Homo-oligomer: A and B are copies of this chain.
Amino acid sequence: MSRPPLAREKVLDAFEAILIDEGERAATMDATARAAGVSKGGLLYHFASKEALEAGIVERLDALVDDDVAAMTTAEEGAVAYFLRSSVMENDPIDRAILATARLAQGGSTPASDALRGVREKWARAIRPHAKDEASLDLVMLVSDGLYFNNALSGGSIPGPVPRGPAMDALIALVERAIRD
């Protein structure tokens, strides 16, 4: 686990990219192998089944989210602002892992759905101390979910109607006031 083979990571990267850019349906083992520059047999040496391939994505997500929660709790602008700002996808590794996992979940993968629920729970635990009550926590979590949802729908290429720049700043200010006063 401490020294993952390079080819394995390359395959996982390719699978993730296809999931994000072309959707779950296009993310076949054939297409993944081609994009990763290996044969189908080569891919199947590292991931014995499609299920194993999907588990690889989920595993990657779990690893990234722990770092993210740590960064969140120590962020200068505050956990809530950091959390909302990072909810709009900037193509960071963690954003890509979440988006890919969301695609798998929508495709019917139960492990992927469970993983996303787990991620959400970890975030909620980190945000809870900054909200004055449960409704405030719900508000922050739902705005974040909404941002991800719009990213997930807009398919990675077409920009969704997601607030950016000054609009994002205004939204964060609005939320922070609502959950404090």
Which A residues are closer than 8 A to B by beta carbons? 22-26, 102-103, 105-108, 113, 116-117, 120, 133-136, 138-139, 141-150, 152-155, 160-161, 163, 167, 170-171, 173-175, 177-179
Q: Which of B107, B167, B177 contacts A23 (CB 8 A)?
A: B107
Q: Which of B105, B107, B113, B134 contacts A170 (CB 8 A)?
A: B134
* A-B residue pairs in contact (CB < 8 Å), sample of 22: A23-B107, A23-B108, A24-B25, A24-B107, A26-B108, A106-B106, A113-B155, A117-B160, A117-B161, A133-B170, A134-B170, A135-B167, A135-B170, A135-B171, A138-B171, A142-B143, A143-B143, A145-B150, A148-B149, A149-B152, A174-B179, A177-B178
User: Are B141 and A24 in contact, with the CB atoms below 8 A?
Assistant: no
User: Are B161 and A24 in contact, with the CB atoms below 8 A?
Assistant: no
Contacts of A108 in B (CB 8 A): 22-26
User: Are A106 and B24 in contact, with the CB atoms below 8 A?
Assistant: yes
Closest 3 CB pairs of A and B: A142-B146, A23-B108, A145-B146
User: Are B139 and A174 in contact, with the CB atoms below 8 A?
Assistant: yes
What is the total number of copies of this protein in its complex? 2
Given contacts A143-B143, A143-B146, A177-B178, A23 and B106 within 8 Å (CB-CB): yes
Q: How far is A55 from B139 in the complex, measured between Cα atoms in Å?
A: 34
Contacts of A153 in B (CB 8 A): 102, 105-106, 113, 116-117
User: Are B174 and A134 in contact, with the CB atoms below 8 A?
Assistant: no
User: Are B106 and A174 in contact, with the CB atoms below 8 A?
Assistant: no
Q: How far is A106 from B102 in the complex, measured between Cα atoms in Å?
A: 9
**Which residue of B is nearest A160, CB measured?**
B117
